[in-house]
Structure 1
Amino acid sequence: MRHTGRKQGGAALIMVILMVALMTVLAVGLVDSVRYNSQRLLNQRLMDQAYWYALGGEQIAKFALKDAVEDATINLSQVWARRDTLFPIDGGSIAGYIEDQQACFNVNNLYQVNTEAEPGAVITEPASLTVLRGLLLNLDLSPERADFIADRVNDWIDEDFGPEGVYGAEDLYYSDQDFPYMPPNQVMVSPSEMNLLAEFEEGEWQALSPFLCALPEVNTPININTLLPEHAALLAAAIGNTVSVEQVRAVLNARPEDGWPDVATFISELALPLEQQPSTELLQGLAVQSKYFRGLADIFYQQRQLKMYSRFVIKGGKAVAYAREYGEVF
């Protein structure tokens, strides 16, 4: 009997130890859960605060753009174009910049509404397609590659379902891929869509992407006052490649600090002979004003970082944010 009592006492002791161990595990798990949730809530609160700081940076950008649009031209001497903007805040800082979204080639300019041509009418290539081909050639792509990319982009965004040009492609081509998809037949949201259609060779996209943008409007002109000298290849293409990229870069480097007052002044500085003057269609693609911009608010707060990109359009003399993106934009 004594032996049985010892066994029962040992079993009871083991049960007590197991219960203590189980309670310890549960307590540790509960403490970890509380600590995790507390840290998560703290992170959320701090990131919410950073977001409100980013919205404050967006408001600053709106004021800077509002002041700029009251001038006769949009140029790089204005306050909005500063790249050293930095505002200290409690626990961090707000940095950022604004860039002109019309200092690039809007791929959606290639969008053409389908209209039936009159019998016997001469069909000419749209000026926007001429500019894209010229840009690709200035980036040392072969004429065949330039034609291939231009035809693919044109078919990607046009309204019809029939391939056009030598290299055009529509639904039947893309639906037959290993990972099939369909062309949108509407304007692009991002130039990165070109990676789905252009079959880029090594280095081509890296060379081309800095010159491209995708705006929600078609037929937007290129602002000659906000193009940087390193974008001379685009401006040369925009005037029909009648002068070399080096000549255009030299003209951009000699541009007045507050920009050219109009496109005619820029053309006159090129001193082109009459037979090399850009066509009226090409000149309509140039301007000294802009209405689309993108601003970055880079928030560093309590050892945390938030990047917010705001896209602005000028309406009624005011800057309106029509889209926001967070993190890195590719």
Structure 2
Amino acid sequence: MTHSRLAHKQSGVALVSVLLVVAIVIIIAADMNGRLQLQMQRQINLQGHQQAYWYGMSAEAFVKQVIRKTLEDSEGEVNLSQPWAAKDMAYPVDNGTIAGEITDLQACLNLNALKEKSANSNTNTRTNTVNYATKSLQRLFELVELPTDIYPEDLAMRVYDWLDDDSQLITGGSAEEDDYAALEHPYLSANTSMVTESELRLILGFNPILIAKLKPYLCVIPNTDTQITNVNTLTEEQAPLLAALFEKMTVAEAQNVLSSRGEAGFGSIDDFWDHSDVKKQPNLDDKFKKRFDIKSEFFKLKAITTYDQSRFKLTSILTVADNKQNAYQVKTLARRFGDNE
């Protein structure tokens, strides 16, 4: 009887051991299956992201060809009636879409132009070094109703001091390294050119609401400190910008200039200067007139591509080179990925 009970007890222990081993095997198998599925999903996501990325690169390549062909057909003239300026461009592709928008970076005020050397840069007074772009920025701030109590001059000078090479204040209402270093979370002023308009967020006095208000008028062209405006790619909504580029032009006069263009803009830059509201402006010397054109060298592409569940954003700054034989080359000057503005 005792031997029978012992055998039965040993049999029960063996069964429990087998069940325990089976349970462990099931747990390991389930874990391996979960890891395998996770790894497969990661691979699918990676492949989807890579495909969306290459869709973005193809969009950039396509836009380069569109711009090149447009310039060749128009002998370098750029206006809003051309194919590159079409809005809401979206194209279906295999398992995804490619959408994008092209803007002319010479239809805005280039913030890096505030670094351009002024004709008075050799004078002893620092305020005399303020250049054309800085004065235009201040006028723009005066003409646009801004949601801030800071004086337009102070706002403009803070941008100037953020970009200039030294740590000296240009005016009492500006801001420099000491002001940024004294913040609760301190940092230093850049003292160099901007890479993107989003850097305005770092300058004292600028907030998201203010920046959104200024967005239609401002841009950044990397490594370029000149301000040349294409009068054929400014929209009528940008009339305050055109007015700001002149010493005395009113917004109403600027609106009249832009609305009186034909569908393809001014036929020549001389037609712009012959407009009655432009002709009456003061100080229109040859040097000043060189700041306006009907041609453009810089464009921005903002592309959004999708593939299955993957989404990719690309911002490309494109520059145009003319080899003097009406054979234009479009190159990528800068490229950014993701939400960066």
Taking structure 1 as the reference length, what is the TM-score of the superposition?
A: 0.88
- Structure 2's unaligned 5+ residue stretches are 323-327
- Closer, same or farther: CA 309–197 of 1 in aligned 2, 3 Å: closer
* Match of residue 39 from structure 2: 37
How far off is 1:82 after superposition?
1.5
* Match of residue 330 from structure 2: 319
How far off is 1:181 after superposition?
0.7
- Closer, same or farther: CA 150–122 of 1 in aligned 2, 3 Å: closer
- Residue of structure 1 aligned with 2:134, choices 125, 129, 133: 129
**Is the CA contact (8 Å cut-off) linking 1:152 and 1:168 kept in structure 2?**
yes
Distance 1:145 1:120 in 2: 21
After TM superposition, list the pairs within 5 Å mapping 1:1-330 onto structure 2: 1=2, 2-70=4-72, 71-112=75-116, 117=122, 123=128, 125-141=130-146, 145-200=151-206, 203-216=209-222, 217-240=224-247, 242-271=248-277, 274=280, 276=282, 278=284, 282-316=288-322, 317-330=328-341
Distance 1:229 1:46 in 2: 41
How far off is 1:192 after superposition?
1.7
Distance 2:255 2:87 in 1: 21
How far off is 1:127 after superposition?
1.2
- Closer, same or farther: CA 290–324 of 1 in aligned 2, 3 Å: same
* Match of residue 325 from structure 2: none
Distance 2:194 2:212 in 1: 19
Distance 1:119 1:155 in 2: 17
Partner SS state of residue 22, structure 2: helix
How far off is 1:18 after superposition?
2.1
Distance 1:146 1:184 in 2: 21
Partner SS state of residue 304, structure 2: strand
Letter in 1 for 2:106: Q
**Per-residue displacement from partner, 1:68-93 (whole Å, max 9, x unpaired)?**
33324211111211224343323333
**Per-residue displacement from partner, 1:292-320 (whole Å, max 9, x unpaired)?**
11113332333533232222111242110
Distance 1:204 1:49 in 2: 37
**Per-residue displacement from partner, 1:9-51 (whole Å, max 9, x unpaired)?**
3333333222212211111111111111112212222322232
Q: Which of 51-60 and 184-193 deviates more?
A: 51-60
**Per-residue displacement from partner, 1:266-296 (whole Å, max 9, x unpaired)?**
2332435756455666544322211111113
**Is the CA contact (8 Å cut-off) linking 2:257 and 2:277 kept in structure 1?**
no
Distance 2:320 2:241 in 1: 24
Distance 2:142 2:133 in 1: 14
Distance 1:209 1:307 in 2: 19
- Structure 1's unaligned 5+ residue stretches are none
- Closer, same or farther: CA 329–171 of 1 in aligned 2, 3 Å: closer
Q: Which of 177-186 and 290-299 deviates more?
A: 290-299
Partner SS state of residue 300, structure 1: strand
Distance 2:87 2:299 in 1: 14
How far off is 1:60 after superposition?
1.2
**Is the CA contact (8 Å cut-off) linking 2:198 and 2:340 kept in structure 1?**
no
**Is the CA contact (8 Å cut-off) linking 2:111 and 2:219 kept in structure 1?**
yes
Distance 1:16 1:76 in 2: 79
Q: Which of 209-218 and 120-129 deviates more?
A: 120-129
How far off is 1:172 after superposition?
1.8
- Closer, same or farther: CA 116–128 of 1 in aligned 2, 3 Å: closer
How far off is 1:180 after superposition?
1.0
- Closer, same or farther: CA 84–154 of 1 in aligned 2, 3 Å: closer
